[in-house]
Amino acid sequence: TLDLTGKVAVVTGGAQGIGQAIAQALRDGGADIVIADRNAQAAAATAADLGGSSLALDVTDSASVDEAVERVVTERGRLDVWVNNAGIAANAPAEEMTDDDWRTVLSVNLDGTFYCARAAGRHMLASGGGAIVNIASMSGMVSNHPQPQVAYNASKAGVIMLTKSMAGEWARRGVRVNSVSPGYTATAILDQVRQRQPEWTETWFRETPMGRPAEPAEVASVVRFLASDAASYMTGSNVVVDGGYTS
């Protein structure tokens, strides 16, 4: 069943974009949602819109991540679903990418996903189960071109393997860990790229068999599925939602 009634679900980076759509889909499924975002104001506004709660969280700070899990469990009484959606990109040719850009992307996308999955997983292992969904990207499977994004691509490949590794370790203890790898998705960021470098987005949509980007809701519905008991025999899977791009 896709029903999430009575479950508490946290979405990192849920203030806008794909994360917001995920929070909405989980809410529509009946979950009590918590939006955890480093942009506290936007998180509170989105939570108010969706009828959930919010907390300020920078996923790169592992102590804050541990505290956030404690707080959710104390305030909401339980924690069933954790979606690692917070992510950033840096565009620079590999030969020009600075240490800072490399580290920043890896720290949010890979370290942050690990810290959150570890903290949520510890609680879920102790409480008897749960579902973790990590938002990777098709860029973790095929290199993103013509946009140069070595750090982003490497970080998302890391998310896919982190998912499989944790899934295997926890499979017998009731904690499922899966990833979703979206293709190009119609968010504010994609709009910005379209305005700045229309030749890139034209290439992307041409190379996508469906000829269009995903709507955030089309990614979110898959996350809801993986978070729910309908996916009870799925763990360690990387579900690709890319309009056929990598096929």
Query: What is the β-pairing status of strands 53-56 and 8-12?
Result: unpaired
The C-alpha atoms of residue 159 and residue 217 are separated, in whole angstroms, by: 21
Between helix 40-50 and helix 17-28 the angle, nearest 10°, is: 30
- Region binding ligand NAD by CB under 6 A among candidate stretches 62-70, 115-123, 188-196, 222-230: 188-196
Please state the closest distance from residue 13 (CB atom) to ligand NAD, in A.
Answer: 3
Active site residue 152: yes
Catalytic residue among 115, 152, 184, 245, which?
A: 152
Which of 7, 9, 10, 16 forms a contact with ligand NAD (CB under 6 A)? 16
Specify the residue, 127 or 164, whose C-beta has the smaller distance to ligand NAD. Answer: 164
Q: Is 163 in the site for ligand NAD (CB under 6 A)?
A: no
CA atoms within 13 A on the CB side of 107: 11
Among 53, 64, 85, 238, binds ligand NAD (CB under 6 A): 85
Residue 185 in contact with ligand NAD, rule: CB under 6 A? yes
Calculate the CA 99 to chain-centre distance: 24
**Over the range 130-157, which residues count as b (16 or more CB within 10 Å of their CB) and which as e?**
bbbbbbbbbbbbeebeebbbbbbbbbbb
Phi-psi region of 156 (alpha: psi -120 to 50; beta: other; left: phi over 0): alpha
Binders of ligand NAD among 36-75, rule CB under 6 A?
A: 37-39, 57-60
| Euclidean distance between CA atoms 236 and 10, whole angstroms | 20
Nearest distance, CB of residue 1 and ligand NAD, angstroms: 26
Q: Which of 188, 195, 199, 233 lies at the binding interface for ligand NAD (CB under 6 A)?
A: 188
Residues tagged active-site: 152
Residues in contact with ligand NAD by the rule CB under 6 A: 12-13, 15-19, 37-39, 57-60, 85-88, 108, 112, 135, 137, 182, 184-185, 187-190
